[in-house]
Amino acid sequence: MPATARRLAIFQESVIREMTRLANQHGSINLAQGFPDFDPPAELIEALERSARGPFHQYAITWGAPRFRQALAAKIARFGGPQLDPDRNLVVTCGSTEAMMVAMMTACEPGDKVVVFSPFYENYAADAILSGAEPIYVALRPPHFDFDPEELRRAFAQKPKALVLCNPSNPCGKVFTREELLFLLDLAREHDAFVLTDEVYEHIVYAPHRHIPFATLPGAEERTLTCGSLSKTYSITGWRLGYVAASERIIAQAKKVHDFLTVGAAAPLQEAAVTALEFPDSYYDQLLADYTRKRDLLLGYLAQTGLDYTIPQGAYYTLVDISPLGFADDRTAAEEITRTIGVTGVPGSSFFREPVHRYLRLHFAKKDETLHRAGERLAAKLRR
Ligand SMILES: Cc1ncc(COP(=O)(O)O)c(C=O)c1O
């Protein structure tokens, strides 16, 4: 029998999907896989019904339907992002998942090195490896998830082709400060590296923290590929709409990668999503108010357990330090807590390159009632 590609051997099945299966098996509340259990805004569902009846059933332009790209460029500029030409600076993709893959394959040759912060969203290392590149990890150190500038300098001394930046960060909730971002940009400039940013949580940043789009830093434009998504901002993870934004020189190449990978994102969904991109500012204020309430609600219950946990600056995850509970490791803890308490999280070690086995990641993109039920179970039974 022919052997399948060796590069796939190191990929495991996603721990998150495994935990979801376990949660279903035990009827446990699933705070593992990070997507909402509530509907997107009603106006969006109505827009989808309208677009289903319109002339949007064949391929759109591969790099994105013009109306969608225009609305996207306008929305990005409205929230302090760069001024983008919808024809020259954008490729619409099937979610940020495809966007990151396109960015990686646009920036890197086989054999190149890519700096990835750890803990990290699981796709980055996979994107690098599928592109033939090699990830080099730099730790974001708990509890504040700061990086050590010297460690980062040592990583850059290995001449990486790119740095991956997840900001706001999943899973640690870090929102990088302007000073940190400028430091990263200086290093990227000094070593002539690209910066591939994943900014899918740009609208979920809690006061007093602020999201700074990396591409808006002075001089960042020529080396930044920004990956964004509609998944989280409009609670439509199943619509699979995302994008890469970059300079004309970079996007001309990214268009080719995207074209050969997927041809394009679904045309009727791009049409319907124009409605979302045109939502007034009040939509985003409400989104943030809702997530702030959900965060405080879950953390309020966690406070009753006596355990330590991260207070996210952005995104919708917290890492709970389950080390005082005496489990052999975080994997055992996640399984036991699913079975005995009926709440499921992700063992934190699946996000870390270093051997960190003391966290359980919980997300709070859930209806308040779901969070109350989960919180009550945790507060009653999860005790240090
Ligand atoms: C940091 C980060 N990037 C990307 C994604 C996936 O985004 P999309 O649905 O746009 O592919 C997720 C989903 O959880 C995420 O947490």
Percentage of the chain lying above the pLDDT 90 cut: 95
Taking residues 244-263, what's their average pLDDT?
98
What pLDDT was estimated at residue 11?
85
Indicate whether 384 pLDDT > 80.
no
Handedness of CA 177, 181, 187, 193 (dihedral sign): positive
Q: Is the CB of 170 under 6 A from ligand 1?
A: yes
The helix (run of H) or strand (run of E) holding residue 72 is helix 66-78
What pLDDT was estimated at residue 300?
98
Nearest CA to ligand 1 atom 14: 34
Q: In whole angstroms, give the CA distance from residue 69 to residue 92.
A: 7
Give me the residues paired with residue 344 across strands: 30
Residue ranges of domains in the chain, CATH in brackets: 6-40+282-382 (3.90.1150.10), 42-277 (3.40.640.10)
Task: Report residue 14's pLDDT band, with 50, 70 and 90 as the boundaries.
Answer: confident
pLDDT in tens, 154-168: 999 999 999 999 999
Per-chain mean pLDDT for the chain: 96
What spacing in Å lies between the alpha carbon of 199 and ligand 1's midpoint?
Answer: 9
What spacing in Å lies between the alpha carbon of 1 and ligand 1's midpoint?
Answer: 36
What pLDDT was estimated at residue 230?
98
* The token pair that represents 127 in the structure block: 């994107």
Task: Report residue 110's pLDDT band, with 50, 70 and 90 as the boundaries.
Answer: very high
What spacing in Å lies between the alpha carbon of 103 and ligand 1's midpoint?
Answer: 14
Q: Is the CB of 169 under 6 A from ligand 1?
A: no
What pLDDT was estimated at residue 13?
80
Q: In whole angstroms, give the CA distance from residue 337 to residue 342.
A: 6
Q: Using CB atoms within 10 A of its CB, is residue 261 exposed (0-12), middle (13-18) or buried (19+)? A: middle
What spacing in Å lies between the alpha carbon of 96 and ligand 1's midpoint?
Answer: 6
Taking residues 99-113, what's their average pLDDT?
98
Atom of ligand 1 nearest to the CA of 94: 11
Under a CB-based contact definition with an 8 Å cutoff, are residues 153 and 115 in contact?
no
Evaluate the omega torsion of the peptide bond into residue 36 and state whether it is cis, within 30 degrees of 0.
no
Q: Is the CB of 121 under 6 A from ligand 1?
A: yes
Taking residues 10-20, what's their average pLDDT?
87
What spacing in Å lies between the alpha carbon of 280 and ligand 1's midpoint?
Answer: 24
Taking residues 368-383, what's their average pLDDT?
95
Q: Is the CB of 96 under 6 A from ligand 1?
A: yes
pLDDT in tens, 22-56: 999 999 999 998 889 999 999 999 999 999 999 99
What pLDDT was estimated at residue 72?
98
Q: Is the CB of 19 under 6 A from ligand 1?
A: no
Indicate whether 60 pLDDT > 80.
yes
Q: In whole angstroms, give the CA distance from residue 263 to residue 93.
A: 9
Beta strands in the chain (DSSP E): 29-30, 90-93, 113-118, 134-141, 146-147, 162-166, 194-198, 224-229, 242-245, 317-321, 343-344, 346-347, 359-363
Taking residues 189-211, what's their average pLDDT?
98
CB within 8 Å of 379: residues ≥ 6 apart = 301, 302, 304, 305
Indicate whether 73 pLDDT > 80.
yes
AA identity, residue 81: G
Q: In whole angstroms, give the CA distance from residue 363 to residue 195.
A: 27
